[in-house]
Amino acid sequence: MYTAQGTIEKSHLLEQHYPLVRRIALQMLAKLPASVELDDLIQVGMIGLLDASTRYQDNKGAQFETFASQRIRGAMLDELRASDWGSRGLRQSGRGVEKAIQALEHRLGRAPSEGEIARELKMDLDDYQSLLQEIQGCQLLYVEDFAQGDSENPFIDQHARAARGDRLVDDPLAQLMESGFREQLVQAISELPERDQLLLNLYYDEELNLREIGAILEVSQSRVCQLHSQAISRLRAKLADLL
């Protein structure tokens, strides 16, 4: 619905496209820690929707819903970056899990079990599984991964430097993809336990939600969340060795 001036009528637009905003928020929420609220994402997404309504030009060929989806998702991502949704404590906990997995794999020569990882962290199994649920969404990429001079694990900067003879490029993420990182990622995934490989395939390739994956693996949604966190921790531990 348009106004007399030819612009989209905002109240109608918000009502009509609220389900789109909610759907995008739910998709993003599945990959974020429990501390992120759905209502907060929806609120930010509605702002992105309004921004899309002022910028959209129907003579450019793109459907409004496609254009709006990009603006909505971008607004949510901007808000998440600004609020640093992965707290420092959670990121440190995530790194602790990765280091424990890495140490055990070196010592045992195989992928460690959950119980072995929990013992390495000096935690009860229940506490370890609770931690996995808390750090869900925090391990894909840490804020510190982009930091120059972080001697602990400057993951992206170190690899980008190595790819260009110790010269840090302007776009480290693009440089990663050019430098064989994809092949190393595929190799690392192939070395994960079979269930972890299946879970990552269902989640990222098939784009199934937690409930659907739980039905396939015959576990609860919360258990899928735990297994996903552990699979990502295993993957990062393997990539640290490869890189």
The predicted pLDDT at position 35 comes to 67
Identify the CATH number of the domain defined by range 89-242: 1.20.140
The predicted pLDDT at position 142 comes to 46
Concatenating the DSSP letter of every residue in the chain gives -B-TTSSBPHHHHHHHHHHHHHHHHHHHHTTS-TTS-HHHHHHHHHHHHHHHHHH--GGGS--HHHHHHHHHHHHHHHHHHHHTSS-HHHHHHHHHHHHHHHHHHHHHSSPPPHHHHHHHTT--HHHHHHHHHHTTTTSSS-GGGG-TT-SS--HHHHHHHHHTTS---S-HHHHHHHTTHHHHHHHHHHTS-HHHHHHHIIIIIS---HHHHHHHHTS-HHHHHHHHHHHHHHHHHHHHHH-
The predicted pLDDT at position 97 comes to 93
Q: What are the extents of the domains in the chain?
A: 10-83, 89-242
Ranges under pLDDT 70 in the chain: 1-11, 33-35, 58-62, 82-88, 137-180, 241-243
Identify the CATH number of the domain defined by range 10-83: 1.10.1740.10
The predicted pLDDT at position 213 comes to 92
Claim: this prediction has a pTM higher than 0.75 = no
pLDDT tens for 152-185 read 444 444 544 444 454 444 455 555 555 567 788 8
